[in-house]
């Protein structure tokens, strides 16, 4: 095994897929995150332990690239590696391979450590990063911001309420809901005829139980790009840009 | 292994649990259904094969009893057995055991065969039931209807839109959503302070992509019972009655 790479197998369950029998992008991200959760547990750095120190890991950005979505029933292997870190940011890579060793999807993610009392980003603690065998690099990565479309057509915004069961065992709105709120802004026809190639999603502010969120969507059907913003009355919570491809069948 | 009993192992994933780190009831039902899906696949009676014959299995009722919900990370075993059938109804049992062999939950479910062209219930076909090694009994089970509460207090109804990703690889609104729509009608305070002991849920009519559903909730806080109805403009889609218990911690 390559140094610092953690992997685990997963069989895609029916409730992780949609009508196309492929995983939704939200579930893809949940599945990828299984690997980092289980790596943390294997290293003794559980959520509970980090919370007991007064901290929590928070994701600020994901860059996702999809060759093809895993299918219902498919046996996949999830990989993750804590790539590098600096004073405030930790970079982590994720990828999924099919049983034939084909790379199906990858994700590059930014994690920060949150001081739970001060509700502010904390400096990365050595004791929380050393066990991952991760490289220190003073350089802060320049991740592209998800940008508004030059020629976007606005689609009708949709409203969602954050529900009790949307908050998962990490005490955050589960990833899948942000993705669902965004993807649901696109039409059925578009979703059946296209597949997601790339997604850049950046989180700005947590939303909480009971809040109403608005999901606004822009689309450029020529370039097959979409842009998504999730807002609450408090302001912008999350934005993303997607690149799509026509399905051949 | 007891005759006709199918079982499989499952480890509870973080996104199958809520804030309490226990599976939601919707996810519990999804997890239970894994066993019947995988049994059908093992017997060569896949969804595709049944659809190709012009039929589909539809669930009309679940009776659920919970000793305790499976927890995040817990290794469980799911069991299922096709119990008996008559001309139109098939009865199936499900249960979950912990690693120590403790029974955590059980479910008794009614399945019917739907003629996909006529959109009507069809007579159970021998070729679709024989492989399950299931007993024929002319007697139709008298399952209790989920009844309105005698002393129920009406809570504010909530609206939900059926989204693209709510339709799963079986081409139906995934179970988890009906349960989420119902449970979300109860207050945060109630959900944190109580646990579900029993649920009787009866489906009347499928809801479709794009439809708006209304979830209406009644509660009797003395008897710790709740009653739930899911409606669309077409009428009632689903109703359920729940029995709750105060959490000790």
Residue-wise pLDDT tens digits, B22-66: 999 999 999 999 999 999 999 999 988 999 999 999 999 999 999
| Range of weakest confidence among A32-36, A120-124, B164-168 | B164-168
| Range of weakest confidence among B99-113, B159-173, B176-190, B235-249 | B159-173
% chain A with pLDDT above 70: 99
Q: What is the pLDDT of residue A133?
A: 87
Between B240 and B205, name the one with better pLDDT: B240
The 10s digit of each residue's pLDDT in B122-153 is 999 999 999 998 889 888 888 999 999 999 99
Clarify whether residues A125 and A214 are in a common domain: no
Q: What is the pLDDT of residue A18?
A: 92
Per-residue pLDDT at A139 exceeds 90: no
Domain containing residue A180: CATH number: 3.10.129.10
Residues 6 or more apart whose CB falls under 8 angstroms from that of B43 comprise: B131, B132
**Domain-ending residue, one of B106, B136, B166:** B136
**Domain-ending residue, one of B136, B161, B179:** B136
- Measured between CA atoms, how close is B14 to chain A, in angstroms? 6
Clarify whether residues A236 and A172 are in a common domain: yes
Q: What is the pLDDT of residue B149?
A: 97
% chain A with pLDDT above 90: 82
Q: What is the pLDDT of residue B7?
A: 97
The 10s digit of each residue's pLDDT in A13-61 is 999 999 999 999 999 999 999 999 999 999 999 988 999 999 999 999 9
For chain A, what is the mean pLDDT? Answer: 94
Q: Is residue B82 part of a domain?
A: yes
> How many structural domains does chain A have?
2
Residue A30: its chain B contacts at CB < 8 A? Answer: 13-15
% chain B with pLDDT above 70: 99
| Range of weakest confidence among A204-218, B162-176, B234-248 | B162-176
Clarify whether residues B132 and B47 are in a common domain: yes
Q: Which domain holds residue B225?
A: 153-246
Clarify whether residues A113 and A212 are in a common domain: no
User: Cβ–Cβ of A168/B13 closer than 8 Å?
Assistant: no
d(CA A58, CA A113): 6
Clarify whether residues B177 and B122 are in a common domain: no
Nearest C-alpha in B relative to A11: B10
Across the interface, which of A15, A175, A188 has its CB nearest the CB of B168? Answer: A15
User: Cβ–Cβ of A168/B17 closer than 8 Å?
Assistant: yes
A143, A207, A200, A137: which is closest to A172 by C-alpha?
Answer: A207
Tell me the residues of A at the B interface, defined by beta carbons under 8 Å apart.
13-15, 17-19, 21, 24, 26-27, 30, 33-34, 37, 41, 72-73, 158, 161, 163-165, 167-171, 174-176, 180, 183-184, 186, 188, 191, 209-210
User: What single string gives the DSSP state of each residue in chain A?
Assistant: --TTEEEEEEEPPGGGB-TTSBB-HHHHHHHHHHHHHHHHHHTT--HHHHHHTTEEEEEEEEEEEESS--BTT-EEEEEEEEEEE-SS-EEEEEEEE-TT--EEEEEEEEEEEEETTTTEEEPPPHHHHGGG--EE-SPPP-PPP-PPPTTPEEEEEEEEEPPGGGB-TTSSB-HHHHHHHHHTTS-HHHHHHEEEEEEEEEE-S---TT-EEEEEEEEETTTTEEEEEEEETTEEEEEEEEEEEE---
> With left for phi above 0 and alpha for psi between -120 and 50, is residue B73 left, alpha or beta?
left
% chain B with pLDDT above 90: 82
User: Cβ–Cβ of B158/A158 closer than 8 Å?
Assistant: no
Across the interface, which of A164, A168, A183 has its CB nearest the CB of B165? Answer: A183
With bands split at pLDDT 50, 70 and 90, how would you rate the model's confidence at B2?
A: low
Per-residue pLDDT at B1 exceeds 60: no
Q: Is residue B175 part of a domain?
A: yes
Q: Is residue A148 part of a domain?
A: no
Q: What is the pLDDT of residue B249?
A: 66
Q: Is residue B141 part of a domain?
A: no
d(CA A235, CA A241): 18
The C-alpha angle with vertex B135 and arms to B6 and B92, in degrees rounded to 5, equals 45
Q: Is residue B142 part of a domain?
A: no
Average confidence (pLDDT) over B74-100: 96
- Measured between CA atoms, how close is A25 to chain B, in angstroms? 10
Per-residue pLDDT at B226 exceeds 70: yes
- Measured between CA atoms, how close is B169 to chain A, in angstroms? 5
**Domain-ending residue, one of A104, A136, A168:** A136
Q: Is residue A88 part of a domain?
A: yes
Average confidence (pLDDT) over A207-215: 92
Nearest C-alpha in A relative to B11: A10
């Amino acid at each position: 095994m390559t140094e610092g790479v953690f992997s685990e197998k997963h069989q895609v369950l029916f409730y992780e897929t949609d009508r196309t029998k492929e995983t939704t992008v939200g579930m893809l991200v949940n599945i990828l995150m299984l690997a980092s959760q289980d790596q943390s547990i294997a290293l003794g750095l559980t959520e509970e332990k980090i919370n007991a120190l007064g901290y929590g890991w928070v994701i600020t950005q994901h860059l996702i690239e999809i060759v093809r979505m895993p299918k219902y029933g498919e046996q996949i292997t999830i990989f993750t590696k804590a790539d590098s870190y600096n004073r405030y940011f930790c970079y982590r890579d994720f990828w999924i391979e099919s049983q034939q060793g084909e790379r199906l999807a990858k994700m590059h993610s930014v994690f920060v450590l949150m001081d739970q009392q001060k509700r502010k980003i904390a400096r990365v603690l050595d004791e929380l990063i050393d066990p991952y065998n991760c490289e220190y690099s003073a350089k802060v990565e320049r991740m592209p911001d998800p940008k508004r479309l030059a020629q976007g057509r606005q689609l009708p915004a949709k409203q969602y309420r954050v529900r009790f069961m949307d908050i998962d065992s990490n005490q955050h709105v589960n990833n899948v809901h942000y993705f669902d709120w965004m993807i649901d802004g696109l039409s059925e026809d578009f979703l059946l005829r296209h597949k997601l190639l790339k997604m850049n999603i950046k989180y700005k502010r947590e939303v909480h139980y009971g809040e109403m969120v608005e999901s606004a969507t822009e689309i450029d059907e020529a370039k097959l790009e979409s842009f998504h913003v999730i807002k609450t009355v408090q302001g912008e919570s999350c934005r993303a840009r997607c690149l799509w491809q026509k399905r051949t069948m």
